[in-house]
Structure 1
């Protein structure tokens, strides 16, 4: 997505919850791989559409979270989609590096199998390396 988009039409369709948030799923645009789920508020939607760089709302820090601001693992917006109920956003992105704070490509690395819980995605970058701890 190369040009800024007027967010008003999107904001009119979105149904934010009682905390002013809407679920946002990030998906790698070319492979369809689901990377992560996070939350967006109105300001995060506006910033994402204006800049083309994905911005979320951090519930734990109570502030905007610009994906990759501390780790460098940014998400460039390719397409912004709203589901039929208006309560979930699908962000088709170009992920730079890993998406998960654990250093994995995606956040969905634990599978429930007959033998129990299985980690199905390796750590690609140590969290210490990502965040300088």
Structure 2
């Protein structure tokens, strides 16, 4: 499916401060670990497609966020897909730089575990 065909199907249904968003899960293509989850609106998805690197919508700053601009942790998109309902996105990426996805300095944002 082409980008233009797929983007028409995406449901940006979570509205925050008037901005329609969809969750974007980011996974390391080589290691398979989930690195982070952030939010994208249609323009962030278009920018990601155009530059080949992850661009998100920052809900707190209310601006576009090109992952790696300040941290050096650039995420290059290898492939992406929408889920069966077209309301969540999954990106498989290769990280460039220090291999850190989380603002805390951890490789992945998912480091708080629970047993059971």
Aligned-residue Cα RMSD (Å) equals 1.3
2:73–2:101 contact (8 Å) kept in structure 1: yes
Report the alpha carbon displacement of residue 61 of structure 1 after superposing the two structures with TM.
0.4
1:44–1:55 contact (8 Å) kept in structure 2: yes
- The structure richer in strand per residue is 2
- Structure 1 distance, partners of 2:61, 2:39, is 12
Question: Deviation above 4 Å: which 4+ runs of structure 1?
Answer: none
- Structure 1 distance, partners of 2:48, 2:67, is 10
Return the TM-score normalized by structure 1. 0.78
Structure 1 or 2, whichever has the larger Rg, is 1
Partner of 2:26: 26
Report the alpha carbon displacement of residue 80 of structure 1 after superposing the two structures with TM.
1.2
Q: How does 1:1-133 map to 2 (within 5 A)?
A: 7-19=3-15, 20-96=20-96, 97-113=99-115
Looking at both structures, which has the greater relative contact order when contacts are Cα pairs under 8 Å and sequence separation is at least 6?
A: 2
Report the alpha carbon displacement of residue 10 of structure 1 after superposing the two structures with TM.
2.2
2:14–2:22 contact (8 Å) kept in structure 1: no
Query: Which structure 1 segments of 5+ residues have no match?
Result: 1-5, 115-133
Number of equivalent positions: 109
Q: What whole-Å deviation, never above 9, does each CA across 1:57-100 have from its counterpart, x for those lacking one? A: 00000010000111111100000111000011000000222000
